[in-house]
Structure 1
Amino acid sequence: MKITKISDCEKINFMELLLLADEDVKMIEKYLYRGELFALYDDGLKSVCVVSRESDDVCELKNIATYDKWNGKGYGSKLLEHIFSHYRGKYAAMLVGTGDIPWILQFYQKNGFKISHRIPNFFTDNYEHPMFDNDIQLVDMVYLCKCL
């Protein structure tokens, strides 16, 4: 298994995978080039994530995605372990915002995040069409925080 930081000129090559976690190209482009993209390879590309600087003390996990056929194999958690280590000492905390979906919240909580706050109507106010995950409409953005 190998995790690599991707250069700015190569980031666009990962759009297909990033779109699994955020289906709006315009939203991805808002954070992709101001953040750092990491890719996890294990006999091919399995997972990616984007982390951006939000303040002197806080970074934010903006996107993490694993190809569907590799979900549940631990690749997302391994990628998180790597970025926690990478950003420890640079930031005090990492935020992540996500939909109010039980399995997604459980994934982040299993990896050390704690629920912080929510932004009501984020998905309905910021996306041009209704967003769904497994037939559940995304409405509020739930933020979680992990101390690094």
Structure 2
Amino acid sequence: MKIREVNENKKKFISLLLLADEQESMVDRYLEKGTMYVLEDSNVKAECVVTEEGNGVLEIKNIAVEPKNQGKGYGKALIDFLASKYADGYSVLQVGTGDSPLTIPFYEKCGFARSHSIPNFFTDNYDHPIYEDGIQLIDMVYLQRRI
């Protein structure tokens, strides 16, 4: 397994990016300003994009694992990689996600705890309703992990 930084042609991974953020215009807001990593295990299995938010905070804007490779530890490996790589320059790794029973437990298993939320984030910022496992996402929930 290898994790490498992607500096060019980030949109070549759009199918993975859209798994985590299904509206391309929203991906466009952070893709070029963020740092992208892909995890390879014979081929690309997962990706993530992180941005500097100031005050020692690094934010995961997008993290996705190919559906057939979910549950194999690739997402956790990316998070652990980020925590290790950025530990010297940052004190907090944060992620914003929908209030979903699918994603919140994953982040909690990775050492994150709920921090705050933004009411109506998905209804105010997306041009269509966003659903995860049949549940409409409305509020953005932020979780943080000390690094």
Fold match by TM threshold 0.5: yes
Q: CA RMSD in A?
A: 0.8
Q: Show CA shifts across 1:4-38 (max 9, x none).
A: 0111x221111111000000111101101111000
Specify every segment of 5 or more residues in structure 1 that has no aligned partner in the other structure, as ranges.
none
Match of 1:55 in 2: 54
Match of 1:117 in 2: 116
Specify every segment of 5 or more residues in structure 2 that has no aligned partner in the other structure, as ranges.
none
Instruction: Find the aligned partners of 1:95 and 1:80 in 2 and give their Cα distance.
Output: 10
Instruction: Find the aligned partners of 1:130 and 1:98 in 2 and give their Cα distance.
Output: 15
Using the size of structure 1 for normalisation, the TM-score is: 0.97
Instruction: Find the aligned partners of 2:84 and 2:14 in 1 and give their Cα distance.
Output: 25
Match of 1:3 in 2: 3
Q: What is the number of residues matched between the two proteins?
A: 147
Q: Show CA shifts across 1:88-138 (max 9, x none).
A: 111111110000111210100100111001111000000000000111000
Match of 2:143 in 1: 144
Counterparts of 1:125-140 in structure 2, within 5 Å, are 125-140=124-139
Match of 1:79 in 2: 78
* SS class of match (2:128): coil
Which residue identity lines up with residue 69 of structure 1 in the other structure? K
Work out whether residues 102 and 133 of structure 2, in 8 Å CA contact, stay in contact via their aligned partners in 1: no
Using the size of structure 2 for normalisation, the TM-score is: 0.98
> Sequence identity, in percent?
48
* SS class of match (1:19): helix
Which residue identity lines up with residue 80 of structure 1 in the other structure? I
